[in-house]
């Protein structure tokens, strides 16, 4: 049975990357517990607009867990405590209790500067991807499926790596602000397939170099990233990236 | 040089120096347990490793490993704090699978370094340094390692300090060993649980050997109380 809950929401307000920022607070009353977290924020914004205040800014797009746009740090966890590995848009108010204080913060990392409130600039991920997360080989028309034989396990694992939606929860959770889980997933999705192998060395070096240049931290294997990843990416990917990178550097 | 300029390279330096130090610790622990079984046996080892050129060269190499490991830890910690940004989270919730040691390696490292200073003062100074610099008037002969162990661990303050130190090393190793192997890429979905298990067992065995020696000599001093706290 659906019930209504009342709680206090503390949300981060910040006008741009240089602003100090602060928390605003608001009492929310009688919110149905089957409301999604983002719908609850829509309700908050409607109330703020009615009161003549500036609405709270946050990122969102598809609201079905596949685009990777939503990025809220809720009560100390990226995307909040969702029912399974899922993003903020799939977090529901039934995960909270009457009288809770819910704290909403942006991804905090030097490489993800705040644009406004809880909307952060994650174009650093696009830059890493553009540095080598693709194949340059001209593939021509779609080939027969059996032209290149790929074992099922490899195809499955590459697919698992490719499900990384680049939301940045790994960076947000990491005490070192490291992007290794993202980069390793993007390197792995190609390194596991024959089509990705010819440029594997070049790719690992270019993407790591870009990651370092953009100010992400050094991975210290705390595993906070895989604990919060909505797509359940594994640090086995990071080991693979280390392997690819070492192989590439030793072959130079 | 990619070992200094890239994040993975710096981690490789941490990993290789760290794993080399783990091998040294293992060797050290095996050597120590000899003292429990035989005074002559242990003193033979001490004499063999006195101030011979190979022992001095080995010590210098170990010193270099520690310095490199520590300097890189400083650089990595500084860079990582910078990467985290100015603003800290108001609320943080640590996921279950994140181990305490993994997030406090630097603090543990500092404790280990402080313990190392005490350890060098207690043993290295009285043994290898005493021979090298011809220091006179010490309570025991530099090659009488057994007497030095008995003396240090007869003192309850040192005994407790060493136990705290061993604890810090244990925490550091439980994360350090598997993390080092992961950094070298020697991990994966199948091998990850295995290397975690191996590092847990390895670090526990090594530390238990150290603890056994400390406890043995402390208990022994309680049984024959004529050994006083000379060093304090």
What is the per-residue pLDDT across A201-210, written as a single tens digit (0 to 9) for each?
A: 999 999 999 9
Q: What is the pLDDT of residue B232?
A: 40
- Determine, yes or no, domain membership for B228: no
How far, in Å, are A56, B87, B93, B94 from residue A103 at the CA level?
A: 13, 15, 12, 15
Q: Which of A122, A210, A220, A226 to mutate to test the interface with B (most CBs of B within 10 A)?
A: A220
pLDDT at residue A5 greater than cutoff 80 = yes
What pLDDT, on the 0 to 100 scale, is given for residue B47? 86
- Residues 126-145 of chain B with CB under 8 A from chain A are none
Domains of chain A: residue spans and CATH: 4-105 (3.10.20.30), 122-251 (1.10.1060.10)
Cβ atoms of B187 and A236 within 8 Å: the answer is: yes
Mean per-residue pLDDT over chain A, rounded:
94
Rounded average pLDDT over A9-19: 95
Residue A240, min C-alpha distance to chain B (Å):
6
A64 vs A89: CA distance, rounded Å = 7
Q: Do A77 and B183 touch (CB under 8 A)?
A: no
The reported pLDDT for the residue numbered B230 is: 46
pLDDT at res. B226: 60
**DSSP string covering B123-191:** IITTTHHHHHTT----SS-TT-HHHHHHHHHTSHHHHHHHHHHHHHHHHHHHHHHHHHHHHTT---TTH
Judged by average pLDDT, the poorest of A36-40, A148-152, B48-52, B176-180 is B48-52
A-chain residue closest to B93, CA distance:
A76
Distances in whole angstroms, Cα of residue B140 to Cα of each of A103, A207, B127, B145: 63, 59, 9, 9
- Residue A252 has what pLDDT? 86
> In the predicted model, is pLDDT for residue A64 greater than 80?
yes
Q: Which of A28-32, A144-148, A176-180, B150-154 has the lowest mean pLDDT?
A: A144-148
Across the interface, whether the CB atoms of A217 and B187 are under 8 A apart is answered no
Number of domains in chain B: 1
* Minimum Cα–Cα distance from A221: chain B residue: B179
How many residue pairs bridge chain A and chain B with CB atoms within 8 Å of each other? 140
Interface test with B, best of A217, A240, A243, A244 (most B CBs within 10 A): A217
Judging contacts by C-beta atoms under 8 Å, the chain B residues touching residue A240 are: 185, 188
The alpha carbon of residue B93 is apart from the nearest alpha carbon of chain A, in Å, by 5
Phi, psi of B113 (to 5 degrees): -65, -40
The CATH number of whichever domain residue B169 belongs to comes to 1.20.1300.10
B-chain residues near A208 (CB < 8 A):
6-8
Residue with tokens 């490291």: A178
Percentage of chain A beyond pLDDT 90 is 90
Asked, for residue B51, whether it belongs to a domain, the answer is yes
Average pLDDT over residues A138-155: 88
| Beta-strand pair A119-120/A73-74 | unpaired
**Domain coverage including residue B127:** 2-83+99-223
- Does residue B143 fall inside a structural domain? yes
State the residue for tokens 């100074």.
B125
Judge whether A75 is closer than 8 Å to chain B, CB to CB.
Answer: yes
The answer to whether A246 contacts B186, with C-beta atoms less than 8 Å apart, is: no
Cβ within 8 Å of residue B196, ≥6 positions away: B178
Q: Considering the domain boundaries, does residue B92 fall inside one?
A: no
- For residue A201, the model assigns a pLDDT of 94
Residue B90 domain-assigned?
no
Q: Classify residue B91: in a domain, yes or no.
A: no
Please state, in angstroms and rounded to a whole number, the distance separating the CA atoms of residues A77 and A69: 16
> Which pLDDT belongs to residue B229?
47
Q: At what angle do helices A200-213 and A123-130 cross, to 10 degrees?
A: 150
Question: A74 and A88 in contact (C-beta within 8 Å)?
Answer: yes
Residues 155-184 of chain A whose Cβ lies under 8 A from any Cβ of chain B = 173, 175-178, 180
Closest by Cα among B162, B164, B202 to B180: B202
Q: Is residue B232 part of a domain?
A: no
Residues contacting residue A35 through CB under 8 Å, at least 6 positions apart: A43, A92, A93
**Nearest residue on chain B to A74, judged by CA atoms?**
B91
Find how far residue B203's CA is from the centre of its chain. Answer: 11
Provide the shortest C-alpha distance from residue A23 to chain B (in Å): 10
Q: Which residues of chain B have pLDDT under 70?
A: 225-232
B123 within some domain: yes
* Joined tokens for residue B45: 């080892």
Chain A residues within 8 A of B171 when measuring between CB atoms: none
């Amino acid at each position: 049975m659906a019930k209504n809950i009342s709680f206090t929401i503390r949300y981060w307000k910040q006008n741009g990357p240089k602003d100090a920022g602060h928390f605003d607070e608001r009492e929310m009353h009688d919110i149905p517990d089957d409301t999604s977290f983002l719908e609850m924020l829509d309700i908050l914004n409607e109330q703020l607009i009615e009161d003549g205040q500036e609405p709270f800014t946050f990122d969102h797009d598809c609201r079905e867990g596949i685009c990777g746009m939503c990025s809220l740090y809720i009560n100390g966890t990226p995307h909040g405590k969702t029912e399974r590995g899922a993003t903020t848009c799939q977090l529901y108010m039934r995960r909270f209790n009457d009288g809770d204080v819910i704290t909403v913060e942006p991804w905090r990392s030097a490489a993800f500067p705040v644009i406004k409130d809880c909307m952060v600039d994650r174009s650093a991920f696009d830059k890493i991807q553009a540095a080598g997360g693709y194949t340059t080989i001209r593939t021509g028309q779609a080939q027969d499926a059996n032209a290149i034989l790929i074992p099922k396990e490899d195809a499955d694992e590459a697919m698992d790596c490719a499900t990384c939606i680049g939301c940045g929860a790994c960076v947000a959770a990491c005490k070192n602000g490291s992007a290794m889980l993202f980069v390793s997933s993007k390197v792995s999705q190609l390194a596991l397939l024959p089509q990705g192998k010819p440029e594997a060395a070049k790719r690992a070096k270019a993407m790591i170099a870009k990651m370092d240049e953009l100010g992400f931290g050094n991975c210290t294997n705390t595993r906070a990233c895989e604990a919060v990843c909505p797509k359940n990416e594994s640090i086995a990917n990071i080991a693979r990236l280390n392997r690819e990178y070492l192989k590439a550097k030793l072959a130079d | 040089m990619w070992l200094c300029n890239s994040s993975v390279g710096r981690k490789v330096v941490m990993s290789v120096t760290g794993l080399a130090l783990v091998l040294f610790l293992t060797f050290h622990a095996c050597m120590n347990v000899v003292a429990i079984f035989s005074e002559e046996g242990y003193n033979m080892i001490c004499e063999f490793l006195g101030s011979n050129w190979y022992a001095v060269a080995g010590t210098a190499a170990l010193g270099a490993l520690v310095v490199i490991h520590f300097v890189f830890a400083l650089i990595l910690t500084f860079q990582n704090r910078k990467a985290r940004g100015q603003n800290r989270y108001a609320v943080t919730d640590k996921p279950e699978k994140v181990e305490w040691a993994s997030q406090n390696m630097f603090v543990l490292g500092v404790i280990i370094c402080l313990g190392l200073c005490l350890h060098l003062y207690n043993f290295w100074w009285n043994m290898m340094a005493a021979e090298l610099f011809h220091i006179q008037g010490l309570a025991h002969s530099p090659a009488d390692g057994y007497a030095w162990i008995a003396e240090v661990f007869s003192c309850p303050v040192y005994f407790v300090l060493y136990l705290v130190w061993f604890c810090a090393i244990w925490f550091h190793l439980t994360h350090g060993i598997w993390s080092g192997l992961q950094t070298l890429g020697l991990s994966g979905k199948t091998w990850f649980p295995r290397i975690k298990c191996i590092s847990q067992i390895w670090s526990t065995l090594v530390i238990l050997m150290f603890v056994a020696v400390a406890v043995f000599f402390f208990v022994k001093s309680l049984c024959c109380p004529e050994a006083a706290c000379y060093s304090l």
